[in-house]
Amino acid sequence: MTRALIVIDVQNDFCPGGALAVPGGDEIVAGINALMAEVEAVVLTQDWHPAGHSSFASSHAGNAAYEMIEMPYGPQVLWPDHCIQGTDGALFHDHLNTDRADMIVRKGYRPAIDSYSAFFENDHTTPTGLDGYLRTRGIKDLTMVGLATDFCVNFSAVDAAKLGFKVDVRMDLCRAIDLDGSLAAAQSGMTAAGVTLV
Ligand code: VGL
Ligand code: ZN
């Protein structure tokens, strides 16, 4: 068996004190580092937005953070400015073992489209390249952890299952934003897609 650990967006802006802080986001770092010893491959994702990104509420006059708008590719939550390329907020959490990473996937770098998933941007068609990377390495089993359970982990896990990977999400090593029931919706959506919640 060849298993990869996919570590989603464990970055300063998603940890307490960050611009889009996920409650308890920093509590999962030690457990993620420990899990790296049990897998063949480690992939980190990094939310990586240009300043003025279209997913930022500040880019839409008249809209506030956490409102929903319609984009050409579908509905989009508007977020506080976060994970801007080159800022401290976009860096991985200081204690995350980044040395162990074989691959770092950056996403959300196109100004006009957001990318929650590690596999496809929010139009659900533009690939990040991660599918090809994993396939060419012969990896079929994935364990996913990170931030946030109900957005980037959820979208990544569902896409991976659709692509044919066998996906486990370690819920104890994820933390959620939980916007209007988004955590419960994510849990049932992942389960329906064939993802195993551990
Ligand atoms: C995320 C909102 C905006 C995430 C990224 O990592 O879950 N959420 N950008
Ligand atoms: Zn983002």
DSSP string computed for 48-106: -BPTT-TTBGGGSTT--TT-EEEETTEEEE-B-S--BTTSGGGSBPTTS-GGG-SEEEE
Contacts of 191 (CB under 8 A, 6+ apart): 197
Dist CA 98 CA 143 (whole Å): 17
Residues of the chain with pLDDT under 70: none
- At 2 the pLDDT is 92
Q: Is the CB of 79 under 6 A from ligand 1?
A: yes
Q: Which two tokens stand for residue 179?
A: 């916007």
What does the pLDDT look like over 48-89, one tens digit per residue? 999 999 999 999 999 999 999 999 999 999 999 999 999 999
How far is ligand 2, taken at its centre, from the CA of residue 36, in Å? Answer: 24
Dist CA 2 CA 79 (whole Å): 36
Peptide bond into 186 cis (omega under 30): no
- At 18 the pLDDT is 98
What does the pLDDT look like over 72-81, one tens digit per residue? 999 999 999 9
- At 133 the pLDDT is 98
Hey, what amino acid is at 33? Answer: N
Q: Which two tokens stand for residue 30?
A: 């030690």
Q: Which atom of ligand 1 is nearest to the CA of 151?
A: 7
Q: What is the pTM of this model?
A: 0.97
- At 1 the pLDDT is 74
Dist CA 167 CA 144 (whole Å): 7
Contact at 8 Å (CB) between 161 and 188? no
Q: Is the CB of 151 under 6 A from ligand 1?
A: yes
Contacts of the segment 158-161: beta carbons below 8 A, 24+ positions apart: 158/117, 158/189, 158/190, 158/193, 158/195, 159/117, 159/118, 159/119, 159/120, 159/124, 160/6, 160/118, 160/119, 160/195, 161/190, 161/193, 161/194, 161/195
Angle at the Cα of 188 from the Cα atoms of 158 and 142, rounded to 5 degrees = 35
How far is ligand 1, taken at its centre, from the CA of residue 1, in Å? Answer: 30
Q: Is the CB of 150 under 6 A from ligand 1?
A: no
Nearest ligand to residue 45 Cα: 1
